[in-house]
Structure 1
Amino acid sequence: MSARIIDGVAHAEALRARVRETVARLNVSPGLAVVLVGDDPASQVYVRTKSRQAQAVGIAAMDHRLPATTTEVELLAVIARLNVDPAVHGILVQLPLPAHIVTANVLRAIDPAKDVDGFHPVNVGLLATGRSEDGFTPCTPLGCLLLLKETLGDLAGRDAIVLGRSMIVGKPMAQLLLNENCTVTVAHSRTRDLADRCRSADIVIAAVGRPGMVRGDWIRPGATVIDVGINRLVSADGKSSLVGDVAFEEVFAVAGALTPVPGGVGPMTIACLLANTATAAFRSAGVDSPDWSLAA
């Protein structure tokens, strides 16, 4: 037995195509403002990728690059201007921010109606109360959910375990699964008998940031495994590679379906950002936003 590979690249391409088709029907061009503070190389790559993909689907990308010395007050002033700019439908502040800026203050300052990252407390609350359709869901968990629904169909009644409890992935992922009527366990660094708990799950979401942590003997035969981890390893000869939180070859031999790293969840994250931005533009125009489910 070997797992079916869940091709995040192909699924993301399909989602981007749906975004491009629906955006073309709007009378206005959706606008996405991406704010980058400092010169972190990884963040710069992410911002370039997001902007390029936004433009490819008809979304106007507006990059705001600020020096690392930018104060919190100055950053909040930029966000305040974007909040009232009618050409801007979505605002994304690239994380992490420099240490002298309080991230929570910045995220709270974004208009919830333009918070396409889904991190504002209002959007967190809407997700927690089962009203995510009225707000925005964080892009990585949303991408995971779309992949799961495309792979498994109806998720109701399935046992799921989420490894990791971050506000960016773990907690919203657990809430999304609960909203789909799964039975959900959230595991973390103090969870006992973690391998046994994983073996009882139909769905395993690995989002802990520890390369190869989830082993083959942790997985129930036929389970679906979503690997959210992105870990860069450097070999003795200086070559670098990206690996996930799952021991891929081991899990591939046991699971029913598995996302690779790279090429799994990552592409879906950006595609979901574009979908959220399109949704914001639809709402601004007073038009019902589409259902972005891949199977729709």
Structure 2
Amino acid sequence: MSILITFLSLAIELVLGYPARLFDAIGHPVTWFGRLISFLDRRLNRATDSDADRRRRGVVALLVIVLVPAALAFWIEAMLWSIPLGLLITAILATSLLSQKSLAEHVEAVADALDSGGLDMGRIAVSRIVGRDPEKLDRAAVCRAAIESLAENFSDGVVAPAFWIGIGGLAGGVAYKAANTADSMIGHRTPRHEAFGWAAARFDDWINLPASRLTALLIVLAAFLVKGADAKAAWHAVRRDAKKHRSPNAGWPEAAMAGALGLALAGPRSYDGVMVEDALMGEGGRRDDVESTDVRRALKLYRVADLLLIGLFGVVAVVVILA
């Protein structure tokens, strides 16, 4: 039934998203996980401890971050199975772990801001979805950043949670989302988190591995269906460039998107004044003529790839139910 729950949650979240009124009233699972992570970071991550002690404490923190919410989710799902419409309610709860609708809205907002308000407004819009220094981005760089974020977050925010809901139900999705949030908060190579966040960063790399490959395949398949996209170039870029990315997972969807659109993504980027070197995904070098129209082309690819994902879970759910 986990596959059916995933299909239903994807279909519902695509249309409804996470209502703003609900967020204002109770927050969001990511904010709940964030409070737990911040608490453990303050209590367990002490600058006076050795790196070895901080690494061990980071492992303990990760276990708490993942297992406590997952156990609660498992209990809730078990209780729901004993009531009418329990499966549907479970699917509705699982929609909070997905971000199909909000991802498209945030990326489209960048294109809209560039078209209506120019570079300054585009920088403000893109700063809401990427961590790089927005004041150093020209118009083309703003567009590339939005497209890169779309590709990577399609994997992290949609495909990966869907995959783990399919594997482990609501508990599997919650465990993934908690671990992914931990990586985003403490999985950084900074003096404070290099040791303490080591486990969170490595674990996040591992749990995102299957989804990143699946995301790349979905984008390649979508490129067959979207006019003007190049599926062959997308596949070639994935095979040639994905493993060159500094991230073991982000390069797969970014390379697929770059090849499909005929762009070069990734490469050197500035975060908090520090230049981070990375390989280019795709061919042709960094063009200066990347525009809001390219962001909208990427959104078309994303939407088709997302529908393919939903269709995949629908087909698998039917096969499993009939088997």
Q: Does the alignment reach a TM-score above 0.5?
A: no
| Bigger fraction of residues in helix | 2
TM-score, length basis structure 1: 0.35
| Bigger fraction of residues in strand | 1
TM-score, length basis structure 2: 0.33
